[in-house]
Amino acid sequence: MDISSILQGGYQHPLSRSWQGRRQLTKSMFMYPIFITDDPDASVVISSLPGQRRWGVNQLESFLGPLVKKGLKSVILFGVPLNCEKDGRGTPADDPSGPVIQAIKKIRLLFPSLYIACDVCLCEYTSHGHCGLLHTDGTINTKPSVLRLAEVSVNYAKAGAHCVAPSDMMDGRIKAIKQAFIDADLASKCTLMSYSAKFASALYGPFRDAAGSAPSFGDRKCYQLPPTAKGLARRAIQRDMVEGADIIMVKPALPYLDIISDAAQLAPDHPLACYQVSGEFAMVHAGAAAGVYDLKTMAFETTESMVRAGATLILSYFTPDFLDWLEM
Ligand code: PBG
Ligand code: ZN
**Strand pairing class (53-55; 43-45):** antiparallel
Q: Whose CA is nearest to atom 14 of ligand 1?
A: 204
According to CATH, the superfamily of the domain at 25-249 is Aldolase class I (3.20.20.70)
What is the CB-side half-sphere exposure of residue 199 using CA atoms within 13 A? 26
Q: Using alpha carbons only, what angle is made at residue 126 by residues 125 and 129, rounded to the nearest 5 degrees?
A: 105
67-113 pLDDT tens trace: 999 999 999 999 999 999 999 999 999 999 999 999 999 999 999 99
Q: What does the alpha-carbon distance between residue 307 and residue 300 come to, in Å, rounded to a whole number?
A: 10
What is the reported pLDDT for 212? Answer: 86
What is the rounded average pLDDT of the residues 267-289? 98
Q: How many residues does the chain have?
A: 328
For 106, phi and psi rounded to 5 degrees? -65, -45
What is the reported pLDDT for 134? Answer: 98
Query: pLDDT above 90 covers what percent of the chain?
Result: 99
Tell how far the Cα of 254 is from the centroid of ligand 1, in angstroms. 15
Q: Whose CA is nearest to atom 10 of ligand 1?
A: 204
Q: Which of 104, 99, 116, 93 lies closest to 41 in space, CA to CA?
A: 99
Q: Whose CA is nearest to atom 7 of ligand 1?
A: 204
What is the rounded average pLDDT of the residues 292-300? 98
Q: What is the pTM of this model?
A: 0.97
The CB of 278 under 6 Å from ligand 1? The reply is yes
The CB of 119 under 6 Å from ligand 1? The reply is yes
Average pLDDT value for the chain: 97
Bond from prior residue into 40 cis (ω within 30 degrees of 0): no
The CA-atom distances, in angstroms, between 192 and each of 61, 143, 176, 224, 247 are 26, 19, 11, 19, 6
183-236 pLDDT tens trace: 999 999 999 999 999 999 999 999 998 998 999 999 999 999 999 999 999 999
What is the rounded average pLDDT of the residues 148-158? 98
pLDDT at 48 over 90: yes
Q: Which of 277, 273, 266, 265 lies closest to 246 in space, CA to CA?
A: 273
pLDDT at 324 over 90: yes
- Nearest 10 degrees: Cα torsion 100, 76, 174, 169: -90
225-258 pLDDT tens trace: 999 999 999 999 999 999 999 999 999 999 999 9
Tell how far the Cα of 218 is from the centroid of ligand 2, in angstroms. 13
What is the reported pLDDT for 49? Answer: 97
What is the reported pLDDT for 165? Answer: 98
130-141 pLDDT tens trace: 999 999 999 999
Q: Among the residues of the chain, which ranges form H helices?
A: 14-18, 60-69, 99-110, 142-159, 173-183, 205-211, 230-243, 257-266, 278-289, 295-309, 319-325
DSSP for 133-144 reads -B-TTSSB-HHH
- Nearest 10 degrees: Cα torsion 233, 238, 191, 306: 50
Q: What does the alpha-carbon distance between residue 266 and residue 268 come to, in Å, rounded to a whole number?
A: 6
Burial class (CB in 10 A: 0-12, 13-18, 19+), 297: exposed
Please report the sign of the dihedral spanned by the C-alpha atoms of residue 270, residue 25, residue 306, residue 8. Answer: positive
Model confidence band, residue 307 (pLDDT cutoffs 50, 70, 90): very high
In contact, 153 and 108? CB cutoff 8 Å: no
